[in-house]
Homo-oligomer: A and B are copies of this chain.
Amino acid sequence: MTGFDQISCQRADSAPAADPPAADAVRVALAAEFASRWPADATGLDAVHRYALIPSGKLLRPLLVAHSALALGGDLRQVLPAAIGFECAHVGSLLHDDIIDRDATRRGQPAVHAAFGLEQAIIAGNALYFSWFTALADCQKRGASDRQIAAALDIQARAGVETCRGAADELAMAGDLDGGIAAYMEMARRKTAVLLSAACRVGAILADATTEQAALLSVFGEHLGLAFQIRDDLLPYSNDHDLGNKPGDSDIRNRRPTLPILLALEATDSSTCRTLRRVLLTEADHHKAHRQLRALLERTGAISRARAIADRHAAQAQEAISELPPGPHTKALNDLTVTHATVAGPTPSGR
**A residues neighboring B (CB under 8 Å):** 44-45, 96, 99-100, 118-120, 122-127, 129-131, 133-134, 136-137, 140, 145-147, 149-150, 153-154, 156-158, 160-161, 163-165, 167-169, 171-172
Taking A44-B165, A119-B171 as contacts, is the C-beta distance between A129 and B129 under 8 angstroms?
Answer: yes
Taking A122-B96, A133-B160, A171-B120 as contacts, is the C-beta distance between A149 and B140 under 8 angstroms?
Answer: no
A120 touches B45 (CB 8 A): no
Contacts of A127 in B (CB 8 A): 160-161, 164-165, 168
State the Cβ distance, A78 to closest chain B Cβ, in Å.
Answer: 14
Majority DSSP secondary structure for residues of A touching B: helix
Taking A100-B123, A140-B150, A154-B140 as contacts, is the C-beta distance between A130 and B161 under 8 angstroms?
Answer: yes
Looking at the complex, which one of B123, B137, B164 makes contact with A45 (CB distance below 8 Å)?
B164
B99 touches A122 (CB 8 A): yes
B129 touches A171 (CB 8 A): no
User: How far apart sit A134 and B158, CA to CA, in the bound complex (Å)?
Assistant: 6
A-B CB contact pairs (8 Å), 23 listed:
A44-B172, A99-B118, A99-B122, A100-B118, A100-B119, A120-B168, A120-B171, A123-B164, A123-B168, A126-B160, A126-B164, A127-B160, A127-B161, A129-B129, A129-B130, A130-B161, A133-B156, A134-B157, A134-B161, A136-B157, A146-B146, A149-B153, A150-B150
Contacts of A134 in B (CB 8 A): 154, 157-158, 160-161
User: How far apart sit A160 and B135, CA to CA, in the bound complex (Å)?
Assistant: 12
User: How far apart sit A122 and B100, CA to CA, in the bound complex (Å)?
Assistant: 8
State the Cβ distance, A272 to closest chain B Cβ, in Å.
Answer: 31
Number of copies of this chain in the oligomer? Answer: 2
User: How far apart sit A134 and B122, CA to CA, in the bound complex (Å)?
Assistant: 22
State the Cβ distance, A159 to closest chain B Cβ, in Å.
Answer: 8
User: How far apart sit A164 and B104, CA to CA, in the bound complex (Å)?
Assistant: 23
State the Cβ distance, A349 to closest chain B Cβ, in Å.
Answer: 26
Q: Which residue of B lies closest to A96 (CB)?
A: B122
* Residue of A96, A154, A157, A171 with most partner-chain B CB within 10 A: A157
Contacts of A147 in B (CB 8 A): 146
Looking at the complex, which one of B120, B123, B156, B167 makes contact with A123 (CB distance below 8 Å)?
B167
User: How far apart sit A127 and B157, CA to CA, in the bound complex (Å)?
Assistant: 9
B161 touches A150 (CB 8 A): no
User: How far apart sit A48 and B137, CA to CA, in the bound complex (Å)?
Assistant: 30
State the Cβ distance, A337 to closest chain B Cβ, in Å.
Answer: 27
Q: Which residue of B lies closest to A168 (CB)?
A: B45
Taking A122-B122, A126-B129, A160-B130 as contacts, is the C-beta distance between A154 and B168 under 8 angstroms?
Answer: no
B168 touches A153 (CB 8 A): no
User: How far apart sit A100 and B127, CA to CA, in the bound complex (Å)?
Assistant: 15
* Residue of A124, A125, A153 with most partner-chain B CB within 10 A: A153
Contacts of A168 in B (CB 8 A): 44-45, 120, 123-124, 127
B171 touches A130 (CB 8 A): no
State the Cβ distance, A2 to closest chain B Cβ, in Å.
Answer: 27
User: How far apart sit A316 and B153, CA to CA, in the bound complex (Å)?
Assistant: 34
